[in-house]
Structures are given as structure tokens and as C-alpha cells.
Structure 1
Amino acid sequence: MSPPLCGRSVRFAPPLFLLLSLGALGAQYCVPRKTFPYQHEELRLFREEGIWNYSTMLLREDQGVLLLGAREAIYALDIHNITSKKAALYWRVTEQKQKDCTYKGKLFEVDCRNYIQTLHKVNDTTMYVCGTNAFSPVCDYMSYSDGRLVLHGRQEEGKGKCPFDPFHRYSSLMVGSDLYSATFINFLGSEPVVLRSSNTAVRTEFKSSWLNEPTFISMEHVPESVDSEEGDDDKVYLFFSENAMEYDFYSKLTVSRVARVCKEDMGGQRTLQRKWTSFVKARLDCSLPEPSLPPIVQDVFLLKHQNWRRSVFYAVFTPQSGSSRMSAVCAYSVVAIREVFNEGKFKTPVAVETSHVKWVMYSGELPVPRPGACISNEARKVGMRTSLDLPDKTLQFIRDRPLMDEAIRPLTGGPLLVTQGSALTRIVVDNVLALDGQVYPVMFIGTENGYVQKAVNYAGEMLVIEEVQLYEDPQPIRTLRLSSSEGYVYAGSVFGVVQMPVSNCGRQGSCSDCVLARDPYCAWDLSAASCSPVNGNSFGSAAVQSLTEGDTSRCTPPEPISVVKVKLVPENNIQLPCRADSNLAQVHWFFSDGRRLHSGPKYYVYGGGLLLLNASVADAGLYTCDSVERLRGRTYNKTMAVYDLQLSHGLGETEEDDLQDETDKAPDSSVGSDIPSTTAQSTIQAPEPDEPLLPETHTDAERVAGLRVGVAVLSLVSLSLFAALLWKLKVGASWRCSPPGGPRDIQAKTPVVEYAHVQNHAHVQNHTAVAAAEVQILAPGSPCISNNNHSAVDFKGNGHPHFTSMANISCLDGLGYINDESEI
């Protein structure tokens, strides 16, 4: 199966020769169709003054709470509204313990605290909790009842169950009454261990061939004993990264791994006593679409199915090289991983002349039973009922050769999704039943700058539906949890935890907006004329949802859009604001006679609108701005604004007074906020249009009711100076933001326009009808205006956004910037 392709992307498309890495790919960079900046009304934030590191979560849907572990605090929050704190428990470190910690060289206020790292459900009334306890980990049992969180006071040694260092990544899992953990077992963090804490504790060997400076990521339990014809055992899968032993590199090379152990493994009788006899590992392959070192796994989510054979692991990867800003999501079938471990070949170390050890594929005969396998019906037939009965030959083999030769390949042959920019950090996946009766896996992916992206795969096309900013200030998302039954995603960071609905259908204000969003959670209710959640609604035939095609043909025609009148002053420069309806759309401008306007000596088309240079009498007329989005061979047009430029022969004193009066009365406008202005800018409320403009025949999507227009009148400067400035821009003189070769042709360049987050940037909504628009009228010779209240975004070579004060930007978007120890 070939990897899915992203929808038409406006990001940089790599050349064909770059689409080679560890495997051939066809995926493009995926761009969120819509970007929603921080809106506190849609989100719920919980944090408490003086408390940090909200990084551990346990959903107790049966008790209606989200248990949240932070630094020296545990909270029980209302699962429906996390701002409601039902209970709190403060588990602080004693002063003596802090002093002991500092004597060992750790920081008193940072390291020598109790960071809650483990929260697991033991039974309906009891939880198991562990904390770092100032580099002396300890665990206890806890209960929540009658609105109180209570520690039972049955403290246990936490070594091997919880990390010493609060900033070391680790993973743990509770299966029945047994705790599986992957962490470092010593103070120095030099002895990694994968441990099962139970009546028969079992752990890994302290050998670099087992674990070589690992970073533990995730653990998952798969009930493979269910309906197993061979009488197999359940498995616990561990995802981590480590320094590779099998590659002969000058410096250390990190690779991503998946390992597994059998649930009923009891260790060996003589060899591997109290050690795993079933520990095997393999490399995870997730090739990025550029020549690069193997990417590193950052998070894994198991999308479970009633039939465990159909369960899928979703994993987030980032580059190990700082020169790349790519991230990827790959999916792995449980069956595919199982086949590699059950039937694949092993690697074996061999000595070479240089005294180094080289790992090669083992081609000899395997001992019986197969090394690393669980006890099955076949083994039971010959009297081997537990791992204690395994022969030494089998155990010696797996002790020295735990690594498989074959890598685990992605389910789709390559990444499901590839992004460029801010790194992806965490992932959860929800199964969503759509109106077409199909179940779609929807991914929620956290980023390094505090956004959550929602993505889904439709018939081989990967669509990032939207991205939502969760924190007002950028905060790396360190934990993601999903409650499918309640319809919320919970995101944790150092700063606090945010509750976000899986979908906000109300953002889509029209039928075509709702349909083109292609969100399986939402459909357009024809009877109610609103975009409504699918779950729990019985729409019948009175709903429109077209996920794979985005077909808006059942939508009613759009309302007429109002024409905004603008005075045209000869020899002035005029800015007409207009933005594309989505990140995947282009902006097309048309004049009265139907001509398509392109960037050139007369016009400049940029991301925020149209710049009319040195206006003349001939420029009077209608200017129409269309947002054009292409989907599966169809074009969807939406008129975003229409301006009627009417000739003005100058303003007399009376007219100037009227203009000032209108300026004083005009409300602030956020439309076109990336357009430069000066402190002398005047904003007026444009008059109501004389008559509505009906939807044009060349479009097939609805029209918006209008935009507000801002008018900035600047002092007149010589036209010759302006012409000289444009010439200087064209030849690439000192202006940093000027592209070589003069103004760009938007028609040719739009498909490769880059995309990035713009902090606190006003997003143009298309569900509100506005009868006015903002227009910038610039005096000749002033194509660039400074205003410290605005900011622009500039893109570096790696696609990372760099924010600059507008005061330092020399020209508009189109003129060069885009605004837009040990035994246990």
C-alpha cells in the first residue's frame, strides 16, 4: 500500500530527488486547512499558582474525574470542566530530604522536589502513584471518594518504578496488579531497566546489547492470548530510542525501537534468572522525505480494536538532526510487528579484524523452542509450561541476540503525515463514526509551540482539518489524553492543562464551510441551518456531509454580498484587504471587465489583499476578491470582498471634517491586520452599498457578506521616489524582504507559498456579514509603512517562522514577507 498524499499543499514541495531516504515516499508536507488562534472562550485551562509540570494524567471516567499529577500536587478535576477542582492532595518533600538531595549536587528548587510521575488505576477504588521525591523515588496507594484524595500511607520503594530524575523520560503500565516500568534504576541514570514489579519480579539484563543509553517513550498491553489458535500469551510492547549497536558510524547514531515481553514470563531456571526470557526488539522505520538520519520516536498511541489483530500503533517522529524541521506520523499494525518477532531473523555480533564487533544477520539454525517466543501449545506438548522450563540453549541465544534483523515497516509503506515547522510532540487517536457509516481514525497531534492539529485519512488523502492554539503563550505539549465518551482532548504542559472539545462545529457558519471542513464530527443540518455534531443527532436525509469529496452541491445558494464603496484619489496607492478562506486556498482578484489581476507594475497581489499603485482615473470600477480552493478536480470559489472604487477629485474642508467625524466613530477592525499602517492612519466606517452584488456565475461556493475597510491617508511623496524604490526592489538591493526578479506572479507562485503560525493574528471568519471594509490609501512613494503594533513573519531556509517587528519590514507581504545496581 502506498503512503497517503496530503491535499494540495501550499508549502514548499520537495524536488523528486529529495523524496529518497530510507524508503521511497510520495507524501507531501501537510498543511492545516484552517488555523484557529487562541480563544479562551472555547478552551478550559487549569493551573494553580506556584505549581508546575502538569505532566501526568489518569482519566477516571467511571468517577467523572481527571486525575492530574504535577510537581508536589495531585488534583481531581471535573472531567467535563477541568476548571472545577473537586479535590487536591499536596505531596511535598521534607526539608531534610531536599538538603540530602542538594548534597548530591542537585538543584534545591528544581531537582529536589517531588514530581508525580506515575498514576495508574489498580481497581475501582484504588490508584497507584509514584513521585521522584527529591531523587529518592517513592510510591504509595491513593483513593478518591467523597470529594477527597487520600494517600493510604503504604509507601514503597520507588526505585525501578519511577525515575530519579524528573526530566528523564520514562514509561509505565499497570496490567492487572502488576506494574511494568521502563526507567533508570540508579541515581546517576546510567542503568536502564525494563521491570515488572510483581510477586515474581523480572527485569532486563544490564547489557548494552539489550538497552544502550535508551530514552523510554511508551508501553502498551495487547491481549494476544484472546482467540489464539497457538495458545499464545499476552504481550507488553515498549517503544523507545537508543544508540544503535548494529551500525558502524564514527559517532553515535540513535534509532527508534519497539520491544516486547510476554506477560507470563517468569525468567529462566539457571540462565537469565529473574530476567526476561522473551525480550526481543526491532528497529522502527519511518522514512522522512529527504536524505536524513533515522528519525526519533517521540510518542505512541495504540488505537485498540475489539479484535486485537486490527489494532494499530500510531507514532510521532522527529529528526535527530537539528538541520531539519520535519516531523512525521507513522502507523504500525500489531500483526506486522508480531510477524517480525515470531518469524523474522535475528542479528548476531561477530568479531572483525579491527577488534570491533559487527552485527550481521544470523543464518544458523535456531534452537527449539524459538528464542524470545512465549510459551505456546507446542511448547506445552513437550513439557514446557513456563519460561522456567526453557532449555539453556534457547536462553543463551536470546541473552546474546535480542535484536531482530528486519525493521518494522509502516502500515502504509511510509508516513501517514509529514509536516514542516514546529515539531510534533504527542498523539492520540479517536475512532469516529461518520454519516456514511464508515469509521475514521482521527488523529490529534500536539506541537512544540502549543497547537493541536486534527488530521484524518480519506481514501489515501491525508487532510489536516485544522489546528487550534491551546496556550496564549507558546507551550510545548508534553501530555495528551483523549476521552472519546466525553468528547474532549486534555493537553498538559509545564504551565497548565487545557481541555479542548474534539470538534467545534459552530465555527463553520455556512453550509459550504461545514462541508468543505470535511470533519467527521460535524455535518450541516439543513433543517436547523447550522453545522452540528454528528454524535447523538438523528439528521436523516436533512444533513450534508461529504468527507472524501467535499461536495457542496446540496448546499443552498449563498446570500448576496454587499459592495463597499471606496473613494479613489488619483496618484495615490490603495490597499484593498482580502484573505483566502483557508490555508489551502489562493486569492484571485478580478476587475470590472472580468480581467484577472496579477502582480506587475500596476498591481501587487499579496497574502493580505491587493495593492493598487499610483491610482488613476482608469482604475475606477469594481474589484472582486475570490478565495479559490481546489479539491479532487473541482474548484470552489468564494467571493470574500467586492470594492467599488469611485473617483474623487479631492477633499475640501467640509469633506475632511466629515471624514474625521467618521474616523472618530469607527470601531476598531481586525480585518487585514497584517497590512502596514502609520500612527496617522484613519479608520472609517464605509457607507452601506447602494445595492447587493449577486453571486457571480464563475464561482460555485457562497459569498461572504463583506469586510470592513480601513483607510490610511499618508502625506504625498514624489512619484519618482516611489518608482525608484520599486526599481531598487526589483534588482534586489538592500531590502531584505525583496525577492529576486521583481514582483512575483501570484498565479505561478501561490502553490509554493509557505505556511506558519502567526501568534495572536486575527483570523478572518466567514460566517458574519459585514457591510464595510478596511482600505489603506497610501501616498505615492510610500509602498512600505511602519507600525510597531503589527508584526510580520519571515521564513528561513528550514521553514521555521521568524517574527519581526513591522517597523523593520520594508515592504508588504508580496514585496518580500508573508504575514500571514543492581538486582531487584
Structure 2
Amino acid sequence: MLDAVLELKKFQDVANVSTFLLDRSTSTLLLGARDAILAVDTERLDQEPKVVGRIIWDVPEAKRRACVAKRKTKVDCNNYVRLLEFLGDGRVYVCGTYAFDPQCAFLELSSFTLETTEGEGVKMETGKGKCPFEPSQHYTAVMAAGTLYTAAASNFLGTLFDISRGTGAEQERIRTERSINWLSDPEFVSSAFIQQSASSNPTGDDDKIYFFFTEVAKEYDLYTKVKVPRVARVCKSDVGGMKTLQRRWTTFLKAQLVCEDKPSGQRYNILTDVFTTEHTPGDPSSTHFYGLFTSQWERDELSAVCVFSLSDISKVMDGPFKELKKTSDWTHPEPVPTPRPGQCLNKALKDEGFDSSLKLPDKVLTFVRDHPLMDNSVTAAPLLVRKGIRYTKLAVTQTGSGDERRGAVLHLGTDRGELHQVAVVGENATFLQELSLFTSQEPVNNILLHRGRALVGSPLSLARVQAEGCALYSSCAVCARARGLGCVWSTGEDACRRTTAEPGPGDIVDNALRKCDVAEGRCNPSMRELRVSVGLPLLLPCVQLSPRSCSWEHPPHRHTRQHHSDLQVTVTEDSLGEYICTCQEAGPGSRDPTPCRRAAYQLTLEGPIAGGTVAEAGGRHIVASYIFMFLMGLVLGAFLLHFVMRRCSVARQGHHLPDNSLSSDKGRDLLGSSATAQSPSSASLLSDGFRLTEKRNGTATTNTTTTLFSNQGNGSPHGNSFGGALIHSNPGNGHGNSLYANCNTNSGDLQFVANLLDGRTGERPEVIERKFGERDEVDEGLGDVIKGPEEELARFPNFKLPAPLALCEESSI
């Protein structure tokens, strides 16, 4: 349920908002934008005043010109505020790109001003390694007990990357080793600080910071660059080594994240966002990381969600290391020195005298320097897969409390300004609703959860949406889909309410939907009738939530192609009928896949439109008969022309004929040896395909698309196009001349024969120009010969009778 939308561009052209920081005590939201920082009261988004503070932090003109002189665009040579973090002393640490020279400053919350120096200029310090150089560079940062940990590019060219401790004592500012074994062209996504509680940490283990990113894998020796998602871990008390790994992490370890649907073998290897949450509030050991993925090998939009537990990541970090030998095979290194490389300080290590990373032996530091990658992977199966949708941000709301926790609601922002809510209960994911928040040009780039609401941001706008509670489901059908979350529709109140009653046996969503005044269930969608026209290319959507495969039932013809879970159809008379999409999903109380019907359509002929003329479409046999009659007439005409020329040649045996007359082989090339009907290519048909339902409003589009096929290489300004059918000459003639004709050719259409020979006037031309600009000299008597075949061909009745205007038979797509 949408509460309010604030258009930030109204405030003196504020744009390019990229960073959120929420003061939960006052519900004040700080937004980092281009050359500006805003403070917004989220409780008063629907009232005035909405913006409670605004700071301009721009770049001096001289520095801007110097940035442009380095071949950077004028737009990028602004100050894009990319980092906002609380320092814990009433101040906020603020960093911006500052015309490709990152700088950081201090924001006083009480006065909402930037600290200044004695000269009244903004007090700044270098932001290299803390903030990106470019506005669009990937980076992440997290504040841990007042100390900033960042992962970002560390040079102007964006070729060096560091995970570093960015603030604190100078001697404790350490970073990663400059080695491709540590970081290989990474794209940083997210970071999280996990602070151990005394009750759940009997071993006294150190607090840890986790970084999530995608990098180019070095363990795969392939021709293409394979990207893999990673999770890396460093320890809070790490200060580097004494001799080896000086000012470098001694606890840096990383492992691969695997989000894979094993039944289909589909793996999602590009990590785009991570949301961190505790399944049991107050218990850090119950932390789970919800990852948003896409695939490197899919050319179309694809999104998947996998969840990884902190305990699984810890097990992998405590497992075997991976090592690359000279044989190019990754093996387990042996022996592993003691104390174990990469582990955080705990009571046991301190009892052995290792109370600081500076006291670790060189053999331990050398080992961890050369073996940062773990052998095992952290694996998970997708909770959700959506094809045809690109999700950009993710937030998760847990439902229930403690052991009564029922499931989760995924709040997913799209690249088209929409917010999708999906309920995940057990192995099933149910699409609840879609909210259009911004324009299609504004992707969702931030989602924050606060007091039962979701604060959703784009580069130009801010929206507030109800995120928790059954009351946000405004209809019985949507409430029924949330039955697994503990919601039930109250007919007396005409509202969705929370219930503690357990659902009955069977499919709880279908049972709840049957109580509503709708015939549609989760696995029993209502049949949608679509009025279509012959020749219309369309795409039938099928919302796939489960990562398992989907299949279609449709009339037996060849004019379909499955595009992921959706189905591409080119409408013909044979393609009319029912289309049913069935997906494999987990059954109630079972992990085994069961069929679930997701979509059902009935295609009904409305009336074809082709070439701008409305006419009844004939059957394929009628079209084929006209093509056959036309081809037979063309062949007979060519035979008559050849016969007349032979007689003319015999009559002129006493004269000297030049070699380039029509009696020679060169002259015969002016007429195609044969003409066969060719179907339009699949690519031509697919290029005009469009989605039947628009993503933003779900309304059906019924505009008929007509495609005219023309010869791309004839060079004629008119194109010799007589309709929708395309007829090619035999390519063996060496010229590639193409004759264009409609399936309902009449006598007037045969003028193309005379046009080809250029003998319409009866004059005796000196030369004949062929379509590709070639010239052949001819005998002076050629003009008299041309008139005969044209008159003979015009006598055939099939060229005089009009035929129904219909497309010729198409090939399968």
C-alpha cells in the first residue's frame, strides 16, 4: 500500500540520489545526491514541510575544469555523495567523488552543516579507498564500532581495488594485498558487521566484517572470463603482520557463493544486492544473507534470490584451503601450519600468547597470503526465480516471532520503478502484489525498512510503502495469497486480518482463494480470452516463481518458441485455441516438485489486418494454390519467351548476331531460371514481437503489427514490393535478382516483367540496365520481341482474377 511519494527534483533540481542513511530515533532520512545532502522527515512525507535540511557541497569551478581536461565528462565532474555513515559522536562521515578526487567531510547533525576550517572552507580529508572515483563505480562500506571498513577502487583509472580499514589510528589502517589471488577485478555489492554477543560467544571469538562481491574467477581455466560471487571475511582486531603482510590483512579469507537450481542445473553467478537480517532478533548467530542474483550467460532479464546462513559461511571458512599447483589443478595444500591461518583471535589463541596478529609466525602469514580462497563453496537453492524482470534492490520482512515464524516477505525493487512483494513460505514463493512507484526511467536503488514501512528511493524520488501486517493486502484474493504468512480475509470487516489459526491440509493458498468470490486460484488461473489477428506476433507471459521448469500446452503447430517461461506466438488460423502454462513447484509439506498451472489463455480470431487492407484470410491450401498457379504461369511465360527467341534466332541465321544477344547464355541471365516461394526468416518475425501485457499496468495491448518484407539488395527506389509475400529467384543464376509479388497477383502486377527488360515503350534501346547496375548490349530487334511474352502472360486467367489478400505460409519460429 503506497503512502506517499516525494519528488526530490522539486528542491532546486536535486538529482542523482544514491545513498540513504536513516536516523531511526528521529525517523530522519539523509540522502546523498549530486552536489547536495538532504534531510527528510519520513513521518511527514505526505505533509509540509518534507525536507528539513539541505546542504550544498559542490566542486570549485577550477577543479571541475581540471577534471574535464582529464577527458572526463562534465556531468561526472561533479561531487556525487556516495557515503553516509554515523560516527557515534553526533556527527556523520560524508564522502563524495569530488570530480574524480574523492573527499570526505564531517556533518554536524545538530546544526545540519559541514564542519569548516578557519578559512571558512569545508574541512575535508582524502577519500581515496573510502569512496569511488566515478559516480557509477561499485563500492560498499560499513561502520563497525566507530571504525569505517570499505571496499572500493583505490586509483583514478579504477584498476586497483582494496578492502580496507579506512578510519582509526594510522598504524591500524590496513588493506588487502595487491594480488589477483585476493581480488580479481571485483564488483563490490554489500558489507555487514556481525558483532558477537557475550551469551552466544563462549570461545571469545572476535567480531567479523563480511564483504560480498562478484569477481573474475581464477580457479577456472577457460577462454572466457567466468564471474563468480564471493563472500570475504576479515576480523575486527586484525592489525596486520610484523614482517610478512605488514599493513595487510592477516585474516582475509574468501569463499564462493553458489546459487543453483540443481534439478535444472541453472546457476546464477552475478551478485547484485545482499540484505542482512537476523532470523531471531538479538541473536547474531541467526544472521542470514539474502542475495539477489542474475546470470552471466543469460542475454535476457533474469533475477533469482538465494539465502545463505552465517553458520554455513563459518563452516566453509573453517574448512580446507584451495591451492593452485603448476599442473593447473586446484588441490588441498598440505600441511596447514598452526595456529590455523586466517582465524580470528579468541581465548584459545590468547592463552597461547597470540594476543595480536603482530605476533603470528611468518609461516602462518605466508600461507594465508598465498591461500586466501577456500576449497568448499557456500551453496543454496533459489527461493525465487523471475525471468523477464530485472530486480535491482532487495529487502526482507520476517513474519511471526521466535519459533512461530511463518515465512518472509521479499520487497523487490525493479529497474522500472516498481516494487514487487513476494511471500516465501517453506519451499513456495507466491507473488502478492506489484506497486508502480516511479516512472519507468527511474530504477529503484535503495530500500530501507523502518517501523513497518519501506522507504523506497530512486535517483529522483522517494516513496513510503506499507511493508508489514496483513492490513496492507486490500483485497480477498491478495489476502488469500498471504495465507501462509498468517493472514485471513474477514468478510464482516471486509479487510485482511492476522490470525493464529493454522491453515487446513492441502494447498493453503488455493483453499483460501476458494473462499473468495473469485474462480482463480494460485494453481488454477482463470482463462483469459485474447482477441488477436492473423500475422500478429505476441508474447504470452507466465510468471515463474519456482526455479523449476515450465512447459506450455498449445495447439499443434510450429509458430511458437518458448522464451524462458514465456511463449512467443505468431498468430495464424492454426494457432488459435488454448495456451496453458504449467510450472513445477514444491507441493504442500513436500520438497518434491508438483505441477502448478500458472497461466491460461484463449486465442480468438478478431479479424486479420495485413498491408493496410482488411480482407478475410484464406486457408493455407488456398494460399499455396495461388502460389503454385503464379509459379506455373511464370515458368510457362519464360518457356514462351525462349521459344519465340529461338524462332527469331533461326530466322536470322544469315545475319551476324553478337555474342551478347538473348540467344546467348549471358542474355538468359536477365530472367531467373526459377522462382520459388521463400518464407520470411524467424528473425524478421521476432523483431516485431512484443509483450502482450505491459509490465507497468498489466493491460493488454491489441495493436496489430503488419510487417512488409522487401528486398534489401535490389537497389530500386520502389522496392518492387507488391505485398506481404517474398519470392526469391534461384541463387544459382549468379545475380541474386529477387522478384516480389503478392499471393493475389493480377494482370497489372505482371508489369514487373516488362520493367525488368525495360521494353515497355516498344523502342529499341541500346542497352538494358539490370537491377545491380550491370549493362548488356542487345540486338536492335529486341524491342519487338519483348512485347510478345508480356501479352501472352497477361492472358492467363489466374493473373486476372483477384485473390484474397493473405500472407504466404511462414516458417516456424
TM value normalised by structure 1: 0.62
Distance 2:586 2:378 in 1: 34
State the Cα deviation string for residues 322-350 of structure 1 (Å, max 9, x = none).
Answer: 535432111111011111112x1112232
In 2 relative to 1, CA 756–301 (structure 1 residues): closer, same or farther, beyond 3 Å? farther
Task: Tell me the residue number matched to 1:758.
Answer: 694
Residue of structure 1 equivalent to 2:460? 495
Superposition deviation, residue 374 in structure 1 = 0.8
Structure 2 residue runs of 5 or longer lacking an equivalent are 117-121, 530-553, 557-566, 574-579, 589-593, 628-676, 707-723, 725-804
Superposition map of 1:138-217 within 5 A: 138-145=103-110, 148-151=112-115, 153-196=122-165, 197-199=167-169, 200-217=172-189
Distance 1:71 1:82, change over 3 A: farther
Q: 1:43 to 1:787 in 2, by over 3 A?
A: farther
Q: 1:271: how far off?
A: 1.2
Deviation at 1:283, TM superposition (A): 1.1
Alpha carbons 1:288, 1:295 under 8 Å: kept? no
Q: CA deviation at 1:175?
A: 0.8
Of 301, 306, 323, which aligns to 1:330?
306
State the distance in 2 between where 1:125 and 1:545 align: 53
| 2:335 is the counterpart of 1:378 | no
- The 1:760/1:728 distance shift into structure 2, 3 A limit, reads farther
Q: Write the mapping of 1:615-694 to structure 2, written as runs, cut at 5 A.
A: none
Alpha-carbon separation, structure 2, partners of 1:408 and 1:171: 21
Residue identity opposite 2:313 in structure 1 = I
Q: Structure 1, residues 565-588: CA drift from partner, whole Å, max 9, x if none?
A: xxxxxxxxxxxxxx9788971318
Separation (CA, whole Å) in 2 of partners of 1:189 and 1:515: 50
Superposition pairs of residues 237-636 of structure 1, within 5 angstroms? 237-287=210-260, 295-304=269-278, 305=280, 306-342=282-318, 344-352=319-327, 358=328, 360-410=330-380, 414-433=381-400, 437-483=404-450, 485-492=451-458, 494-502=459-467, 511-518=476-483, 520=485, 522-532=487-497, 534=498, 549-550=508-509, 552=511, 558=517, 585-587=525-527
Taking structure 1 as reference, are residues 52 and 456 closer, same or farther at Cα in structure 2, changes over 3 Å only?
same
Q: Which has the higher helix share?
A: 2
Cα drift, residue 217 of structure 1: 0.9
> 2:489 touches 2:495 (CA, 8 Å); kept in 1?
yes
Contact 1:325 1:423 in 2 (8 A): yes
Alpha-carbon distance, 1:119 to partner: 0.7
Contact 2:210 2:233 in 1 (8 A): yes
The 8 Å contact of residues 523 and 544 in structure 1, kept in 2 or not, is answered as no
Larger Rg: 2
Alpha-carbon distance in 2 for matches of 1:42, 1:582:
30
User: 2:9 aligned with 1:47, yes or no?
Assistant: yes
Question: Structure 1 132/224 Cα, relative in aligned 2: closer, same or farther at 3 Å?
Answer: same
Q: Which moved more, 1:188-197 or 1:153-162?
A: 153-162
CA–CA distance in structure 1, aligned partners of residues 66 and 317 of structure 2? 45
Cα distance, 1:515–1:44 mapped onto 2, change above 3 Å: farther
Q: CA deviation at 1:104?
A: 1.7
Are residue 128 (structure 1) and residue 93 (structure 2) matched?
yes
Letter in 2 for 1:164: F
CA drift at 1:470: 2.4
Cα distance in 2 for residues equivalent to 1:509 and 1:382: 62
Deviation of residue 301 (structure 1)? 1.0
Q: Distance in 2 between matches of 1:717 and 1:418?
A: 43
> Structure 1 residue 265: deviation in Å?
0.5
Question: Relative to structure 1, is the Cα distance of residues 481 and 735 closer, same or farther in structure 2, using a 3 angstrom cutoff?
Answer: farther
Name the CA distance, whole Å, in 2 between partners of 1:280 and 1:132: 29
SS at match of 1:476: coil
Does the 8 Å CA contact 2:261/2:382 hold for their aligned counterparts?
yes
Q: Which residue does the alignment assign to 1:65?
A: 28
Superposition deviation, residue 150 in structure 1: 4.5
Q: Are 1:585 and 1:627, in contact at CA under 8 Å, matched by a contact in 2? A: no
User: Counterpart of 1:187 in 2: which secondary structure?
Assistant: coil
Which segment drifts farther, 545-554 or 428-437?
A: 545-554
C-alpha distance in 2 between matches for 1:512 and 1:545: 18
Give 2:372's aligned amino acid: P
Residue 631 of structure 1: CA displacement?
11
Q: How far is 1:677 from its partner?
A: 10
Distance, in Å, in 2 between the alignment partners of 1:252 and 1:182 is 22
Displacement of 1:300: 0.8
Match for 1:204: what amino acid?
A: T
Higher-RCO chain (CA-CA 8 Å, sequence separation at least 6): 1
Contact 1:481–1:489 at 8 Å: present in 2 too?
yes
Residue 144 of structure 1: how far off its partner (Å): 2.8
Q: CA separation in 2, counterparts of 1:174 and 1:191?
A: 22
What is the aligned counterpart of 1:99 among 65, 86, 90? Answer: 65
Please tell me whether the aligned partners of residues 214 and 241 of structure 1 are also in contact (alpha carbons under 8 angstroms): yes
The structure-2 alpha-carbon separation of the partners of 1:360 and 1:551, relative to structure 1 and needing over 3 Å to count, comes to closer
Other-structure match for 1:652: none
**Deviation per CA, 1:218-263, whole angstroms, max 9, x where unpaired?**
1101123643222210110011111211111123222111100001
CA contact (8 A) 2:140 2:150 kept: yes
SS class of match (2:285): helix
Could you tell me which runs of 5 or more consecutive residues in structure 1 were left unpaired when the two chains were aligned. Answer: 1-38, 353-357, 560-578, 590-597, 601-606, 614-625, 641-671, 680-715, 741-753, 765-783, 791-807, 817-824
Corresponding letter in the other structure for 1:530: A
* 8 Å contact kept, 1:522–1:545: no
Contact 1:57/1:69, CA 8 A, preserved across alignment? yes
Contact 1:223 1:235 in 2 (8 A): yes
Question: Could you tell me which residue of structure 1 aligns to residue 533 of structure 2?
Answer: none
The 2-side partners of 1:504 and 1:722 are apart by 54
Match of 1:88 among 37, 49, 54: 54
Q: CA deviation at 1:540?
A: 7.8
> How far does residue 496 in structure 1 lie from its aligned partner after superposition?
2.9
- Does structure 2 conserve the Cα–Cα contact (< 8 Å) formed by 1:220 and 1:236? yes
Distance 1:312-1:540 versus aligned 2 partners, 3 A rule: closer
Q: How many angstroms does 1:447 deviate by?
A: 2.3
Closer/same/farther in 2, CA of residues 364 and 512 from structure 1, 3 Å limit = closer
For 1:258, the aligned partner's letter is V
Preserved contact between residue 394 and residue 411 of structure 2 (Cα < 8 Å): yes
SS of the equivalent of 2:77 reads coil
425-434 or 327-336, which deviates more: 425-434
In 1, distance between residues paired with 2:283 and 2:130? 31
Q: CA deviation at 1:51?
A: 2.9
Distance 1:274 1:531, change over 3 A: same
Distance 1:737 1:361 in 2: 48
Identity %: 30
Which secondary structure does the structure 2 equivalent of 1:268 belong to?
A: coil
Q: CA, structure 1 residues 479+425, in 2 after alignment: closer, same or farther (shift >3 Å)?
A: same
8 Å Cα contact 1:53/1:496 also seen in 2:
no
Q: What secondary structure does 2:389 align onto?
A: coil
Paired residue secondary structure (2:379):
coil
Deviations 1:499-539 (A, max 9, x none): 3222696786654552245473854234422235x4xxxx7
Q: Mark the CA change 1:386 to 1:47 in structure 2 (over 3 Å): closer, same or farther.
A: same
Conservation of the 8 A alpha-carbon contact between 2:8 and 2:15:
no
Give the match's secondary structure for 2:369: helix
